[in-house]
Amino acid sequence: MPQGDKSSYTEKQKRQAEHIEESYEQKGVSEKEAEKRAWATVNKQDGGGKKKSK
């Protein structure tokens, strides 16, 4: 999996990152930095991307 690939994240994790990113942008953080911080936060909370096991 290439670096930056978000395919292993659940839909919930993707939504969380989107909301966190929007919050940072409202605080005046650049779009690129907001995205980095949002995914770092999701990774810290959940330990990275996870797919549900079947």
Gap between the terminal Cα atoms of the chain: 20
pLDDT of residue 2: 63
**Amino acid symbol at 50:** K
For residues 25 and 3, what is the distance between their CA atoms, to the nearest angstrom? 23
The pTM assigned to this predicted structure is 0.78
pLDDT for the residue 1: 55
Segment 33-50 shows an average pLDDT of 88
Q: Does the pLDDT value for residue 20 go beyond 90?
A: yes
Q: Who contacts 34 (Cβ-Cβ below 8 Å, separation ≥6)?
A: 21, 22, 24, 25
| pLDDT the model gives residue 29 | 96
pLDDT band of residue 9 (cuts 50, 70, 90) is confident
